[in-house]
Amino acid sequence: MTMDKEWKVDEGGLVRTRTCGWSPPGCHPVGCGMFIYTDKDGKFVKVEGDPDHPISQGRLCPRCLAMGEFLQHPDRIRYPMKRAREDRGKDAWERITWDEALDILEREVRKIWETYGPEAIFLSKGTGREATEYAPPMAQAVFKTPNNAFMMSGASCYGPRTVIGDFLLGAGYPELDYAAYFPDRYDDPRYEVPKYIVLWGKSPLQSNPDG
């Protein structure tokens, strides 16, 4: 197959955009290749697998296939929302503008500065799918605090699992290519479906939403 190198093309009245799906938690380490189809107004229409992606090769997991459901779900939060203190515990949110939301944040931060000092603020960046070290400079430049923690993607979850894997298995936590790295992957005639899978002390569906 000759790879289509264009990342955005018109196809059948729709715009097809080549991209990768990174949906935390769980997309280690692939980022499945997919085509996103949108209409002339930029609204999502459908998603298909990208057959030229070197790992996923056109296959998509349920998370990618359900993209339209969560993108267009009526309960999806698309704008800043505010709830009065007395309405805590109630579904009594009202939509506000981004300027209003930022004004609230600034007001509350300044209140902390004046009452307790900027060092009362601690900034932490949790796990994600981007290797951007923005927590330290934001803490110092925006919140005036030296207190911050940069937990790069996996430092608080994948890293500890790797360490445990080292102790238990003598090797790192496995992120396996279950097609055994055959050139044709699952279509290779040498590939065999495993007859048994052994799990020690783990019920994946109950204990591991990370896939």
Break the chain into its structural domains and give their ranges: 8-71, 100-153, 158-204
For residue 25, the model assigns a pLDDT of: 52
Mean pLDDT of 156-182: 69
- Distance separating alpha carbons of residues 22 and 46, to the nearest angstrom: 17
Provide the pairing of β-strand 32-38 with 14-21.
Answer: antiparallel
Mean pLDDT of 102-114: 96
- Distance separating alpha carbons of residues 206 and 190, to the nearest angstrom: 33
Tokens 């697998």 locate to 49
7, with CB counted inside 10 A (0-12, 13-18, 19+), is exposed
Long-range contacts at 179-187 (CB < 8 A, ≥ 24 apart): 185/57
Mean pLDDT of 131-160: 75
- Distance separating alpha carbons of residues 191 and 181, to the nearest angstrom: 10
Residues in Cβ contact with 33 at an 8 Å cutoff, skipping those fewer than 6 apart: 18, 19, 20, 49, 50, 52, 53, 54, 55, 56, 57, 58
Instruction: Answer with the residue of higher pLDDT: 148 or 44.
Output: 44
CB distance 123 to 148 below 8 Å: yes
For residue 211, the model assigns a pLDDT of: 46
Residues 33-86 have pLDDT tens digits of: 899 999 999 999 999 999 988 878 888 888 888 889 988 898 889 999 999 999
Q: Residue 7, CB half-sphere, CA atoms under 13 Å: how many?
A: 3
Identify residue 194 by its one-letter amino acid code.
P
Helix (H, G, I), strand (E, B) or coil at 55: coil
Instruction: Answer with the residue of higher pLDDT: 95 or 12.
Output: 95
Residues 183-198 have pLDDT tens digits of: 787 888 998 888 887 7
Q: Rounded to 5 degrees, what are φ and ψ at 3?
A: -70, 130
CATH-assigned architecture of domain 8-71: 2-Layer Sandwich (3.30)
Across the chain, what does the average pLDDT equal?
A: 81
Identify residue 165 by its one-letter amino acid code.
G
Instruction: Answer with the residue of higher pLDDT: 90 or 184.
Output: 90
**pTM score over 0.85:** no
Mean pLDDT of 120-147: 78
Instruction: Answer with the residue of higher pLDDT: 25 or 51.
Output: 51
For residue 130, the model assigns a pLDDT of: 52
Q: What percent of the chain has pLDDT over 70?
A: 75
Q: Which pLDDT band holds residue 103 (cuts at 50, 70, 90)?
A: very high
- Distance separating alpha carbons of residues 210 and 153, to the nearest angstrom: 13
For residue 133, the model assigns a pLDDT of: 66
